[in-house]
Structure 1
Amino acid sequence: MSKPSLLKKLNLKYPIFQSPMAGVSTPEMASAVAAAGGLGALPLATLDFTQDSVTAFEKLDKLVEATGTNAVNLNFFCHEVESPPSQVQADNWKALYRNVIADAKFKQVIDSTKFANGNISFKEIERDQDKLAKLVDKLKSIKPSIISFHFGIPSNNIIDELKKIALVFATATSLQEARHLKSNGIDGIILQGIEAGGHRGQFIDTFQPHLDEDLSTQALFHKVKQSLANDGIYLVPAGGITSPNSVKYYLNQGADAVQIGTAFLATPESSSSKFFTKYSGEESTVMTALVSGKPARCVRTPFIDDVVQKNQFPLSDLPPYGYAYDAYKKLKGELGANGGAGEDIGFYLAGQNHFQLRKGKSTSEVMQELTRELA
C-alpha cells in the first residue's frame, strides 16, 4: 500500500523527530527543532487530566504557547493503570533508600516520603468519559501534527477519534508490538531499539522482561520493515541515532523519519544540560527499573550502582511505576532543598551513544549538524 511522504504530510523540511524525553526536553528545545525544520515534541505524562482542576489544561496551553507552534508531537504515556503501593512495598522502598543514602540526617526525609501517582496514563483518562471528552476537545483546538503514545495505546474508538485531529503514532520494541499497533490502526510506529535512552516502551510481556529480545534499532527496523513494508504505515527508528551518518543510513534504508533524543542532552535547552556538559562521556549506561519502577536506560553513576547492588527486593515488592518515580523525585527534591546529601542521586537518562554528545552546542546547532547530509 503506497503512502504519502511523511515530510509532505507534516510539512517538514527534514525527517527528524525530537524525542519527547519527559523531564528532559523543554518547549525551547521543541521550538528550536521546529525552527530548524524538524518536529519538536512535548511530553505530557506529568499533566493530570483526570482532576477537576483546569491546571493541567492551563499548563498544556502554556507549553504549546512557549513552543511557538502547534506543529509538534504531543506525547502521552499509556501504561496499565497502577494501584497505590501496599504498606509492604512502601516500607521496602524506604528500606532500600535508607541503605543507599549514607547521610543519617536524611533518614527522616526518607521515612516521611509520601507516594502519589506522578505519571498519569492515558488509560486513566479514558475511565472518565467527561474528562476524556474535554481532553479530546482541547487536542482538537490545538491541532498538533502528531499525537503519540508510549507504553501502549488507548482503545480503538479513541484512536479513531484522535486520527481526525492528527497522525497517531506509538512506540514498539518488538515485531509483535509493531504488528499489534498496525492492527489497531496506528498511523506510524516509533521503533525503539535497545540502545535508546529513557524508559523502554515495551508493553507486551511487560511483567516478563526476560522475554524482551533486546533488539538493536537496526535489527528492529529491518525486521519490522520486512514484515510491514507494504502496509502503509510510517516507520521511525529511534535509539543510537546521534550522527549525520546514522540519520542518513536509516533514511537510505527506507525509514520515513528518525527520532533523536540523546544528541540534544547537553544543549542549553535540555533540563539535563548541567550534568551532561560536565561529565566525561566515558561513563557506561545501564537499564534499570529500580528508580522509576519501569526499565529505563540511564548513565551509570555511583548512586545507580548503590541502588542496584543494595536492593534486596524483587521489583514486584517495590512501589509500581508512577508511585516509585514520584517518591524518588520528591526525595531528590528534598535532599536538594536540605543542602544536599553530599552525593549526587540524579537519574540521568541517556542512550548508549551519549559519548557522541556535542557539548557547547545549542539545539539549533545540533540540528544543523544532523541535517548536513540531507540537503
Structure 2
Amino acid sequence: MLKNKMTQLLKIEYPIIQAPMAGGITTSNLVAEVSNAGGLGMIGAGYMTPNQIREQIKEIKQYTSKPFGINLFIPNEFAYTDSEVKLANQVLKPIRNQLHINEDPNLDIPTCDQVFETFNEQIKVIIEERIPVCSFTFGIPSEAVISELKQNNIFVIGTATTVEEAVEVEKSGMDIVVVQGSEAGGHRGNFISPSQDSLIGLMSLIPQVVDHVSIPVIAAGGIMDARGLMASLCLGALGVQMGTAFLTCIESGAQKVYKEAIMHAKEDQIVLTRAFSGKWARGIKNKFIAEMEKHEDLLPDFPVQNALTQPLRKASSAQQNADYLSLWSGQSPRLAKNQTVESLMKSIITEAKNINNSFFRY
C-alpha cells in the first residue's frame, strides 16, 4: 500500500509529504531530512523573497540529492481603507506598547503590484533552480504559469478544501490535489467558498473527492501517525501531507516555546481565528486570540492584517512569549512528539506495515 502512482510520480519512497509551513518552520535541515528519509520535503515559501528562496534551495541541495518541493501562495487582488488600518492599529496599540514595539507597521503593508511581482519572480527562481515539485495554496495559478512549469518537467500540486475546488484543480491541468480537511492547522487553501463554508472533515472529504477526480489525491489535516496515513489510503487517497507532526520535530524552525505549546495543548484548545492575518487559520487559543475575538469582524483582510501584526509576532518570538505568537496547529496536538524527522518517519512506516499485516491477517 505504500507504493503507488503518487510515489512513482514524485520519485519518493513513501507516500508522505511534509507540509510546506511558511514563516521559517521549514528549515533546510527539516526539508532535507524528510526527503532523505523517503518522503517529500517541502519549502514553505509563501512569505519568502525570490533571493531567499534561491539561497535555501542551494543550501538544501547540499544536504540531499533526493527530490524536494516548494509551495507558493497564489496572489489575489485585495483592497483596504485608511480607516480600516487605523482602527486595527488602535486595537493592537495596547499590545504593541506591552511588547515595547516602536516601529510603524504600516510600512510593511504590500501593494497588489508588489505581491504579484514577487510571485512571478518566485516562479522564475523555481524554474531556474529546477525544483521537481511546486504546490500552490489559496487558489489556482494561471494557465500560463502551469504550462511553463510543466514544460520544465515540474509536477504541479493544487490545494482544495471542497470537492468543487478539487475538480477545478484537476480542470486547470495540475497533476495532484491536496485535500485539506477542517482539522488542518494554519491557513487552509480554500479559494471558491469562504473559509467558514468549507469546513469539511477530512475523513468525509477524501472519498468524495476521490469519486470526482482522476488525479492522485493527497490527504491533509490532523494526520500525525500511521493510523492517519492508513485511514487516508483506505479511503482512496494515495498519500498524506503532514504539518504539525513535523513542526515539533527537532529539525523544525519553530520556536521552542511554540513546540512546547503544541505538545501541552489539548484538542479543544485548537480554534479558528483571523486575528493574526486577516484570513481564517487554526491554532492554539492564546491571550491574543482571546483578546481579539470581539474585534475580528473589524480587522482588515489578508495580507494587510498579517503585515500589521508582523512586528507583534516578531517581538513575541524574540521574547519567547507564547501569549502573542501565532501558534498554528492541527486538531491532534496530543499526538505531537519532540523527536527527529528520522524517528518520526521510521515509526510511521513501521506501524503502517504492522497495521497492514494485521488487517490482512484477519
TM bucket, shorter chain: 0.7 to 0.9
2: CA distance, partners of 1:80 / 1:117: 15
2: CA distance, partners of 1:139 / 1:374: 33
Instruction: Establish whether residue 281 from structure 1 lines up as the match of residue 265 from structure 2.
Output: yes
2: CA distance, partners of 1:86 / 1:78: 23
- Asked if the contact 1:70–1:145 (Cα under 8 Å) also holds between the matched residues in 2, the reply is no
List per-residue Cα deviations over 1:192-234 (Å, max 9, x = no partner): 000000101111134xx44x14111111111111222xx2x01
Instruction: Establish whether residue 356 from structure 1 lines up as the match of residue 335 from structure 2.
Output: yes
3-state SS in 1 of match to 2:289: helix
TM-score of the pair, normalised by structure 2: 0.85
Structure 2 counterpart of 1:222: 207
Structure 1 counterpart of 2:356: none
Equivalent of 2:85, from 83, 90, 97? 90
Q: Amino acid of the residue matched to residue 78 of structure 1?
A: I
Instruction: Establish whether residue 36 from structure 1 lines up as the match of residue 37 from structure 2.
Output: yes
Structure 1 gaps of 5+ residues are 50-54
- Structure 1 residues 267 and 242: CA distance shift in structure 2, 3 A: same
3-state SS in 2 of match to 1:268: coil
2: CA distance, partners of 1:227 / 1:109: 52
- Asked if the contact 1:147–1:167 (Cα under 8 Å) also holds between the matched residues in 2, the reply is yes
3-state SS in 1 of match to 2:217: strand
1: CA distance, partners of 2:322 / 2:232: 40
List per-residue Cα deviations over 1:235-262 (Å, max 9, x = no partner): 0010011121111121233311111111
1: CA distance, partners of 2:258 / 2:246: 10
Instruction: Establish whether residue 200 from structure 1 lines up as the match of residue 201 from structure 2.
Output: no
Equivalent of 2:143, from 137, 151, 156? 156
Greater relative CO, 1 or 2 (CA 8 Å, sep 6+): 1
Matches within 5 A, 1:12-161: 12-23=12-23, 24-49=25-50, 55-56=51-52, 58-65=54-61, 67-69=63-65, 71-83=67-79, 85-100=80-95, 103=98, 106=100, 109=102, 112-117=104-109, 124-125=116-117, 132=120, 136-161=123-148
Q: How far apart are residue 325 of structure 1 and its match?
A: 1.3
Instruction: Establish whether residue 187 from structure 1 lines up as the match of residue 182 from structure 2.
Output: no
Equivalent of 1:327, from 308, 313, 321? 308
Q: How far apart are residue 45 of structure 1 and its match?
A: 1.4
Q: Amino acid of the residue matched to residue 113 of structure 1?
A: P
Q: How far apart are residue 144 of structure 1 and its match?
A: 2.2
1: CA distance, partners of 2:278 / 2:327: 15
Q: How far apart are residue 46 of structure 1 and its match?
A: 1.5
Q: Identify the range of structure 1 (186-195 vs 218-227) with the bigger mean alpha-carbon deviation.
A: 218-227
2: CA distance, partners of 1:221 / 1:75: 21
3-state SS in 2 of match to 1:286: strand
Q: How far apart are residue 368 of structure 1 and its match?
A: 1.1
Structure 2 counterpart of 1:369: 347
2: CA distance, partners of 1:300 / 1:197: 12
3-state SS in 2 of match to 1:251: helix
Q: How far apart are residue 20 of structure 1 and its match?
A: 0.2
- Asked if the contact 2:5–2:216 (Cα under 8 Å) also holds between the matched residues in 1, the reply is no
Q: Amino acid of the residue matched to residue 163 of structure 2?
A: L
- Structure 1 residues 37 and 117: CA distance shift in structure 2, 3 A: farther
3-state SS in 1 of match to 2:35: helix
Number of residues of Structure 1 aligned to a counterpart in Structure 2: 345
- Structure 1 residues 21 and 40: CA distance shift in structure 2, 3 A: same
- Structure 1 residues 81 and 56: CA distance shift in structure 2, 3 A: farther
- Structure 1 residues 158 and 271: CA distance shift in structure 2, 3 A: same
2: CA distance, partners of 1:122 / 1:217: 35
Q: How far apart are residue 89 of structure 1 and its match?
A: 1.6
- Asked if the contact 1:115–1:323 (Cα under 8 Å) also holds between the matched residues in 2, the reply is no
Equivalent of 1:297, from 264, 277, 282? 282
- Asked if the contact 1:189–1:234 (Cα under 8 Å) also holds between the matched residues in 2, the reply is yes
- Structure 1 residues 34 and 119: CA distance shift in structure 2, 3 A: farther
Q: Amino acid of the residue matched to residue 43 of structure 1?
A: G
- Asked if the contact 1:78–1:154 (Cα under 8 Å) also holds between the matched residues in 2, the reply is yes
1: CA distance, partners of 2:128 / 2:77: 27
- Structure 1 residues 239 and 122: CA distance shift in structure 2, 3 A: farther
3-state SS in 1 of match to 2:190: coil
- Asked if the contact 2:45–2:71 (Cα under 8 Å) also holds between the matched residues in 1, the reply is yes
Which one has the bigger helix percentage? 2
Structure 2 gaps of 5+ residues are 354-362
2: CA distance, partners of 1:120 / 1:343: 31
Structure 2 counterpart of 1:52: none
- Structure 1 residues 336 and 77: CA distance shift in structure 2, 3 A: closer
- Structure 1 residues 123 and 92: CA distance shift in structure 2, 3 A: closer
Q: Amino acid of the residue matched to residue 41 of structure 2?
A: G
Equivalent of 2:240, from 245, 255, 258? 258
List per-residue Cα deviations over 1:111-146 (Å, max 9, x = no partner): x332424799997139xxxx94x6555333332231
Q: Amino acid of the residue matched to residue 199 of structure 1?
A: H
Q: Identify the range of structure 1 (89-98 vs 28-37) with the bigger mean alpha-carbon deviation.
A: 89-98
Percent of residue pairs bearing the same amino acid type: 26
- Asked if the contact 1:45–1:119 (Cα under 8 Å) also holds between the matched residues in 2, the reply is no
3-state SS in 1 of match to 2:212: helix
- Asked if the contact 2:12–2:67 (Cα under 8 Å) also holds between the matched residues in 1, the reply is no
